[in-house]
């Protein structure tokens, strides 16, 4: 009987297809007859011929044989020198466990495929603690058992797109706390089939680079893929997709958890076609575009409670028709160029809740169409933006701090109505000169400006502080128009009535005028503006000499 067909594990349909390929395609894809070489040793060296049933070590270049190396006897094969190779390498299976260790100085070259596929009751472990491992590609085929790829040092390379958790019920855990995975511009598909599960955990100083695409929950319903990133680990990928693939609109699930390290990507998608979930509690996510709820019918949710999310292009919540996207920010920093709630002319559910942390939008905050269910909730944290477009609902300020600009003077335009509804809300303005800000960030000599093209209803508190040492040169006759409205300003700041004085962070004070009231009229100020004037310098005190 053919040595591959004599094993129970090769009766799986996918494996039967592979076995058929050995025969049909041997003239072009494979060389020679497939020969299974089984590990018979215990915990010993790969290079000891007595540790293999055919009394020779596997080879990958032969005109007469195609070596399929297998470790399923519960033993451990150790590679701590150069030269280990095989065409196919199987660790674990339907009838036993296996372990492969690549250590310092070791090299392993698997020309076609590495399978880590222990069935229920068995385990399969590939442990890389040094050396260099080159793989044609990887497929984790069977489920039920304990399948682990653990990397603490060394280099691992892929030469074709690897699959993790390939068939129904399969499971795989990938842990990397050190070393380098060079994906060579290949794509990783994590959890492809029904009820499959695959996880990637990067920690310590582990690095993954040159990764083209990472799919978490790649294909059919019930497939679940996850990524966790912590410590000083770094992952560099062109596109990360959590939940679904490009061609199959099914309900697979992908999760991303970043609590340290750096995730660098051109595109991050939470909820591509299926369901995506993500958390950022520390570290940095740096990307071009970030999507939560991408294609039609997808669902993407993301929570920020620490760390930094930085996009050089867009963040889009609820991109496709009938997509659901939600971002909840409780802390950390979101530093974004363009902000969109939905991008579809058809109904979508898109929401962003700012309850803590800092949200910087360096360009427009917008929605595509008013028939979409778009909600921006501002209840805490700090919000800074260039423009809040009229395609979004009224900007309701229910808590937290609205601060034009960043840590310098800047202008924010609300191109709709602005309503403050809570005593916990604050408008914070920086004074760095006598020129009104005309951009999101300005240099020295400017002061913050909030421009509301619709109506403005005030409440909460007004906070004023100086930057660039400007308090040393400001004059009592200087006027600062820090808020302008398209109509008479309604309401009042709780900490300063019109005509009253506000104390700055430096203990100086200004007279404040706003709204259609007697104090503003008597002072000759515009009821559509908030004006600071009549500067009083903090008293320095009196020196008393006692004899």
pLDDT at residue 371 in the model: 56
Q: Please, which pLDDT band fits residue 191 given cuts at 50, 70 and 90?
A: confident
d(CA 497, CA 519): 9
Place of tokens 């809040």: 388
Q: What is the largest CA-CA distance in the chain?
A: 115
pLDDT at residue 383 in the model: 97
Residue 16 has pLDDT above 70, yes or no: no
Instruction: Using alpha carbons, list the distances in angstroms from residue 104 to 101, 110, 127, 132, 154.
Output: 10, 18, 12, 9, 7
CA 447, 448, 452, 457 torsion-angle sign: negative
Q: What average pLDDT does range 172-181 have in this prediction?
A: 96
d(CA 515, CA 499): 10
Determine the 3-state secondary structure of 266 from DSSP.
Answer: strand
Determine the 3-state secondary structure of 66 from DSSP.
Answer: strand
pLDDT at residue 187 in the model: 93
Burial (CB < 10 A; 0-12, 13-18, 19+), residue 141, is buried
The model's pTM: 0.90
Of residues 344, 278, 337, the one with CA closest to residue 312: 337
Q: Any residues with CB less than 8 A from the CB of 531 and at least 6 apart, and which?
A: 479, 480, 481, 482, 512, 513, 514, 525
d(CA 406, CA 383): 9
Give the length of the chain: 547
Of residues 233, 236, 158, the one with CA closest to residue 202: 233
Q: Please, which pLDDT band fits residue 346 given cuts at 50, 70 and 90?
A: low
φ, ψ of residue 409 to 5 degrees: the values are -70, 140
Q: What average pLDDT does range 263-267 have in this prediction?
A: 98
d(CA 478, CA 503): 16
Q: What average pLDDT does range 11-29 have in this prediction?
A: 36
Of residues 239, 185, 176, 238, the one with CA closest to residue 207: 176
Place of tokens 């100085």: 105
Instruction: Using alpha carbons, list the distances in angstroms from residue 449 to 384, 386, 412, 441.
Output: 11, 11, 6, 11
Instruction: Using alpha carbons, list the distances in angstroms from residue 55 to 30, 41, 80.
Output: 23, 11, 19
d(CA 152, CA 164): 19
Q: Following CA atoms 448, 476, 462, 513 in sequence, which dihedral angle do they give, to the nearest 10 degrees? A: -100
Which residues are 489's β-sheet partners?
A: none
d(CA 137, CA 113): 5
Q: How many helices and strands (H and E) does the chain possess? A: 2, 39
Of residues 314, 259, 257, the one with CA closest to residue 289: 314
d(CA 429, CA 481): 11
Residue 86 has pLDDT above 90, yes or no: yes
Encode pLDDT of 31-51 as tens digits.
557 899 999 999 999 999 999
CA 233 from centroid of its chain's CA atoms: 14
Q: Any residues with CB less than 8 A from the CB of 539 and at least 6 apart, and which?
A: none
Lowest mean pLDDT among 21-25, 260-264, 329-333, 441-445: 21-25
Asked whether 245 and 276 are in contact (CB, 8 A), the reply is no
d(CA 309, CA 281): 10
Q: Which residue has the higher pLDDT, 511 or 163?
A: 511
Residue 145 has pLDDT above 90, yes or no: no
For β-strands 480-484 and 449-452, DSSP reports them as parallel
Residue 320 has pLDDT above 60, yes or no: yes
d(CA 219, CA 191): 7
Place of tokens 């700090």: 382
Please work out, in degrees rounded to the nearest 5, the angle formed at the alpha carbon of residue 26 by the alpha carbons of 20 and 32.
115
pLDDT at residue 13 in the model: 37
CA 36, 37, 39, 40 torsion-angle sign: positive
For β-strands 197-202 and 449-452, DSSP reports them as unpaired
Encode pLDDT of 274-284 as tens digits.
899 999 999 99
Q: How much of the chain, in percent, has pLDDT values that exceed 90? A: 73
Lowest mean pLDDT among 15-19, 34-38, 465-469, 517-521: 15-19
The DSSP code for 421 is: -
Encode pLDDT of 524-541 as tens digits.
999 999 999 999 998 665
Q: Please, which pLDDT band fits residue 347 given cuts at 50, 70 and 90?
A: low
Residue 65 has pLDDT above 90, yes or no: no
State the chain's mean pLDDT as an integer: 89
pLDDT at residue 379 in the model: 98
Q: What average pLDDT does range 183-208 have in this prediction?
A: 92
Residue 189 has pLDDT above 60, yes or no: yes
Place of tokens 């900007």: 395
Q: Please, which pLDDT band fits residue 20 given cuts at 50, 70 and 90?
A: very low
pLDDT at residue 538 in the model: 80
d(CA 116, CA 96): 12
pLDDT at residue 251 in the model: 74
Please work out, in degrees rounded to the nearest 5, the angle formed at the alpha carbon of residue 457 by the alpha carbons of 453 and 459.
135
Q: How many CB atoms sit inside 10 A of residue 63's CB?
A: 6
Residue 125 has pLDDT above 80, yes or no: yes
The two tokens of residue 436 are 């009104």
pLDDT at residue 394 in the model: 94
The two tokens of residue 480 are 């600062």
Q: What average pLDDT does range 470-486 have in this prediction?
A: 97
Asked whether 311 and 287 are in contact (CB, 8 A), the reply is yes
pLDDT at residue 33 in the model: 74
For β-strands 76-79 and 411-414, DSSP reports them as unpaired
> Where exactly are the structural domains of the chain?
1-160, 183-393, 404-547
d(CA 454, CA 389): 11
Q: How many CB atoms sit inside 10 A of residue 43's CB?
A: 12
d(CA 154, CA 110): 16
Among the residues of 83-185, which ranges form H helices? Answer: none
Place of tokens 């294909």: 219
d(CA 325, CA 297): 10
């Amino acid at each position: 009987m053919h040595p591959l067909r004599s094993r129970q594990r090769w009766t799986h349909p996918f494996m039967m297809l592979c076995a058929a390929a050995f025969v049909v395609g041997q003239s072009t894809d494979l060389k020679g007859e497939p020969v299974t070489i089984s590990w018979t040793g215990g915990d010993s060296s790969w290079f000891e011929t007595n540790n293999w049933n055919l009394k020779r070590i596997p080879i990958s270049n032969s005109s007469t044989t195609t070596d399929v190396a297998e470790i399923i006897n519960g033993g451990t094969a150790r590679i701590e020198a150069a030269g280990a190779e095989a065409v196919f390498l199987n660790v674990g299976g339907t009838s036993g466990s296996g372990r492969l260790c690549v250590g310092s100085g070791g090299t392993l070259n698997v020309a076609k495929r590495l399978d880590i596929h222990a069935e229920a009751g068995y385990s399969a472990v590939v442990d890389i603690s040094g050396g260099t491992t080159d793989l044609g590609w990887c497929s984790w085929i069977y489920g039920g058992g304990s399948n682990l790829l653990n990397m603490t040092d060394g280099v691992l390379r892929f030469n074709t797109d690897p699959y993790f958790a390939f068939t129904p019920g399969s499971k795989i855990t990938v842990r990397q706390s050190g070393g380098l995975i060079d994906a060579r511009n290949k794509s990783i598909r994590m959890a492809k089939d029904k009820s499959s599960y695959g996880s990637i955990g990067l920690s310590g100083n582990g690095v993954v680079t040159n990764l083209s695409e990472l799919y978490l929950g790649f294909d059919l319903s019930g497939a679940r893929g996850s990524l966790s990133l912590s410590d000083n680990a770094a992952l560099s990928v062109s596109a990360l997709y959590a939940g679904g693939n490009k061609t199959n609109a099914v309900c697979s699930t992908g999760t991303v958890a970043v609590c340290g390290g750096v995730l660098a990507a051109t595109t991050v998608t939470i909820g591509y076609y299926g369901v995506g979930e993500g958390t950022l509690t520390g570290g940095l996510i740096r990307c071009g575009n970030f999507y939560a709820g991408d294609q039609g019918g997808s669902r993407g949710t993301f929570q920020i409670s620490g760390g930094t999310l930085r996009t050089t292009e867009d963040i889009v919540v609820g991109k496709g028709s009938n997509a659901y996207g939600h971002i909840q920010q409780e802390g950390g920093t979101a530093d974004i160029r363009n902000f969109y709630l939905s991008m579809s002319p058809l109904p979508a559910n898109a929401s962003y809740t700012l309850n803590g942390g800092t949200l910087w939008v360096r360009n427009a905050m917008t929605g595509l169409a008013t028939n979409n269910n778009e909600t921006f909730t501002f209840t805490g944290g700090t919000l800074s933006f260039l423009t809040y477009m009229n395609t979004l609902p009224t900007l309701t300020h229910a808590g937290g701090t609205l601060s034009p600009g960043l840590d310098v003077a800047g202008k924010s335009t609300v191109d709709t109505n602005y309503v403050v509804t809570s005593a916990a809300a604050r408008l914070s303005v920086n004074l760095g000169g006598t020129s009104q800000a005309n951009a999101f960030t300005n240099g020295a000599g400017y002061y913050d400006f909030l421009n509301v093209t619709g109506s403005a209803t005030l409440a909460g508190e007004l906070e004023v502080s100086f930057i660039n040492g400007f308090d040393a040169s400001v004059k009592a006759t200087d006027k600062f128009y820090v808020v302008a409205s398209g109509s008479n300003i309604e309401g009042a700041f709780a900490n300063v009535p019109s005509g009253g004085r506000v104390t700055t962070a430096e203990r100086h004070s200004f007279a404040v005028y706003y709204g259609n009231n007697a104090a503003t009229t008597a002072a000759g100020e515009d009821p559509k503006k908030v004006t600071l004037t009549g500067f009083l310098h903090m008293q320095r005190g009196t020196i008393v000499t006692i004899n």
